[in-house]
Amino acid sequence: MFWQDWLKTVSSNFGSPGPQRANRTKTSCRLHVEVLEDRAVPTASLRLAVMGDSLSASYAGFPGRSGDQSWTQQLQQLRPHQVQIFNEAVSGATSGDVLSVQAGAVAGLVAAGKVDYATLIVGANDLATELNADLPILFGGNAPLFYQTFVQHYTTSVVSNIEHTVAMVSSAGDVGLAVGNIPDVAVTPAYASTTPAFILSTITAAELSANQQIASFAASHHLPVIDLFGLSHLAQSPLTLGGVTVNNLYALDGFHPDTVGQGLLANTILQSLDRAYDAPVDHLQLSDQQILTEAGITHPPGHAYFEIDSYVIFDRDGKQSGHRARSHHHEAADREDQFALLD
């Protein structure tokens, strides 16, 4: 069936002292202190918990993304000693899956003091779930009701799950959270080439509706938003990266970002943590040349960075104007009081 097919498309011993010599002649000696080299294992400067779906999970093992790397893979590959990632994201996860499984796991990490920051990027898979539920209305001939039902149900469900996920993680302890909005899946080749225009416009309307509420929620709780909707439109035209014109930002499946797109997402996430919490990320950003190398794209020498600042939504004029104005402790305490209203 066409719709079913389309819907599917979306881990010395110390020696004992030797025998003592009798009548050993004592000689005067001066105590000498030997300074030993520091063999301590370096501590990662960024300890990050990740929640979400295939945008954050590893691409390994998925044929449609073969040869490409997600943003978590690239940071682990290129910044192995500076970034420690606890990746709870699962390919195919919906916002309900994240709330019921991943949120608790990350809350445990926060409570144990194992992470300082967390990201939440989810919602794209909910579109297919909601579409599957509402298509009978459209097939019944009532397009206006389908549009209204889809937009309202999707927005309410996804935003509620995101809010409660943030509440659970934030109330567990001291953590800096960054939330992604919903990417525009309607512009991806996988959707755009197979989906009727009316449904595409309905999907985009639902994304915009949810994103408006996500932005309002994030602003009221002083959380940075990773603008995935904006980033998804980068692929609509060629862009210049490290002196190279890049014409495609999609993996083989035509839906997921390729290594270049994911590299830009990595930098946007790092920038969001810097903007909101003054996280130590300046030396962690991936250069254009590093991203191109990971993607197997030949490039001239250099050390440039694609401008991604506009894809972080955060009010610099609020209580956290500019960089982090207050400690995580105070932020977490405030958010715990505010999030209690959700329960």
Nearest residue to 182 via CA among 229, 245, 127: 229
> What pLDDT digit, counting tens, does each position of 176-217 carry?
999 999 999 999 999 999 999 999 999 999 999 999 999 999
Task: Please state, as a whole number, how many other Cβ atoms lie within 10 Å of the Cβ of residue 325.
Answer: 15
Residue 335 has pLDDT above 80, yes or no: no
The pTM is what?
0.82
Cα–Cα distance for residue pair 122/120, rounded to 1 Å? 6
> What pLDDT digit, counting tens, does each position of 276-316 carry?
999 999 899 999 999 999 999 999 999 999 999 999 999 86
Residue 106 has pLDDT above 50, yes or no: yes
Cα–Cα distance for residue pair 189/123, rounded to 1 Å? 19
pLDDT-based confidence at residue 33 (cuts at 50, 70, 90): very low
User: β-strand 83-87 against 46-52: which pairing, if any?
Assistant: parallel
List 312's β-bridge partners, or say none: 226
pLDDT-based confidence at residue 5 (cuts at 50, 70, 90): low
Q: Which residue has the higher pLDDT, 146 or 18?
A: 146
Domains defined for the chain, CATH in brackets: 43-342 (3.40.50.1110)
What does the pLDDT read at residue 63?
87
Residue 285 corresponds to which tokens in the numbers above? Answer: 């950003």
What lies within 8 Å, CB to CB, of 339 at 6+ separation is 163, 166, 167, 170, 171, 221
pLDDT-based confidence at residue 44 (cuts at 50, 70, 90): confident
DSSP states of 15-52 as a string?
A: PPPPPPPTTPPP-------------PPPPPSEEEEEEE
- Give whole-number Cα distances, 311 to 41, 132, 229, in Å: 35, 31, 9
Cα–Cα distance for residue pair 136/304, rounded to 1 Å? 50
Residue 46 has pLDDT above 80, yes or no: yes
pLDDT over 70, % of the chain: 79
> What pLDDT digit, counting tens, does each position of 95-104 carry?
999 999 999 9
> What pLDDT digit, counting tens, does each position of 234-262 carry?
999 999 999 999 999 999 999 999 999 99
Cα–Cα distance for residue pair 260/292, rounded to 1 Å? 7
> What pLDDT digit, counting tens, does each position of 124-177 carry?
999 999 999 999 999 999 999 999 999 999 999 999 999 999 999 999 999 999
Element (H, E) at 87: strand 83-87
Residue type, 4: Q
Number of residues written out for the chain: 343
Asked if 265 contacts 257 with a C-beta cutoff of 8 angstroms, the reply is: yes
pLDDT-based confidence at residue 8 (cuts at 50, 70, 90): low
pLDDT-based confidence at residue 40 (cuts at 50, 70, 90): very low
Residue 269 has pLDDT above 90, yes or no: yes
**Alpha helices by DSSP H, 39-170:** 71-78, 95-97, 103-111, 124-139, 143-170
Cα–Cα distance for residue pair 7/128, rounded to 1 Å? 6
Residue 17 has pLDDT above 50, yes or no: no
What does the pLDDT read at residue 340?
41
Asked if 249 contacts 241 with a C-beta cutoff of 8 angstroms, the reply is: no
Average pLDDT, the chain: 85
Cα–Cα distance for residue pair 215/235, rounded to 1 Å? 23
